């Protein structure tokens, strides 16, 4: 396991470090047919960012992702299809509304509309061919908000603009990403281990679960607010130490 790097000059702000972590989460879980997939440079940046934030367990989780990165492009696509299949609602679906107790079409449509509304408020569209509630797209949106705040600060847009971005970030994390990311990660880890032959998605699941917990703590959100109502708690948590990292 790599030792703690000197990150003093690598990240000028906490905002940048957090944005890098969300970028890795988004790229690890993206459909490689629609969006960029994680590369070694994303992992290295995320590991350094986690150390900068004083989160060693998250740094070790990022390092584990790096050790498990698929070597060939074909392996990336095959791994994604093996885990998530060709349909939206699978054994572990990477879509938020699949984790809601209310399954009627009207409610799901409203949830998707709410998510899309967040994106439209910043003149953003979901990736063509992908649903707006995909875990990777939601993570990328949080990354975007952090980068917008960095830009607002650098351009001197003032506290009002920064406060607005903070408010949007908190609401989106609380009402969407944060409510189901950890539960999804637990299910993904269990499924990937059950199917065997894949080290990458268990590692990505550990990283996502740890990131969601770190961010919830940073935002001071209570645990009950972070779970979709019908998800079975698998009672697994990310546990990392110098000897390795895993969910137990």
Q: State residue 180's pLDDT score.
A: 92
Give the separation between CA 81 and CA 92, rounded to whole angstroms. 12
Tell me the angle at which helices 178-195 and 200-219 cross, rounded to the nearest 10 degrees.
160
Do residues 27 and 36 make contact, with C-beta atoms less than 8 angstroms apart? yes
List pLDDT tens digits, range 34-62: 888 999 999 999 999 999 999 999 999 99
> What is the number of other CB atoms lying within 10 angstroms of the CB of residue 230?
12
Average pLDDT, the chain: 83
Chain centroid to CA 110: how far? 23
Side-chain-side CA neighbours of 26 within 13 Å: the count stands at 23
Report DSSP state, residue 241.
E
pLDDT band at 175 (very low <50, low <70, confident <90, very high): very high
Do residues 151 and 14 make contact, with C-beta atoms less than 8 angstroms apart? no
Q: In this model, does residue 171 exceed pLDDT 80? A: yes
């Amino acid at each position: 396991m790599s030792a703690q790097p000197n990150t003093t000059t690598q990240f000028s702000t906490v905002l940048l470090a957090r944005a890098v972590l969300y970028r890795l989460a988004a790229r690890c879980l993206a459909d490689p047919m629609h969006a960029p997939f994680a590369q070694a440079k994303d992992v290295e940046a995320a590991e350094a960012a986690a150390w900068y934030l004083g989160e060693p367990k998250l740094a070790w989780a990022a390092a584990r992702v790096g050790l498990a990165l698929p070597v060939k492009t074909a392996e990336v696509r095959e791994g994604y299809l093996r885990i998530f299949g060709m349909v939206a609602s699978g054994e572990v679906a990477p879509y938020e509304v699949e984790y809601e107790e209310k399954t009627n079409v009207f409610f799901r449509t409203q949830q998707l509309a709410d998510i899309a509304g967040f994106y439209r408020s910043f003149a953003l569209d979901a990736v063509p061919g992908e649903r707006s509630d995909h875990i990777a797209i939601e993570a990328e949106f949080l990354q975007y908000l952090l980068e917008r705040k960095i830009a607002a600060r650098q351009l001197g847009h003032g506290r009002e603009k920064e406060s607005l971005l903070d408010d949007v970030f908190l609401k989106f994390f609380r009402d969407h990403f944060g409510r189901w990311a950890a539960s999804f990660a637990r299910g993904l880890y269990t499924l990937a281990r059950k199917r065997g032959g894949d080290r990458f998605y268990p590692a990505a699941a550990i990283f996502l679960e740890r990131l969601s917990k770190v961010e919830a703590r940073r935002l001071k959100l209570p645990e009950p607010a972070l779970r979709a109502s019908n998800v079975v708690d698998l009672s697994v948590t990310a546990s990392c130490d110098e000897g390795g990292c895993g969910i137990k």
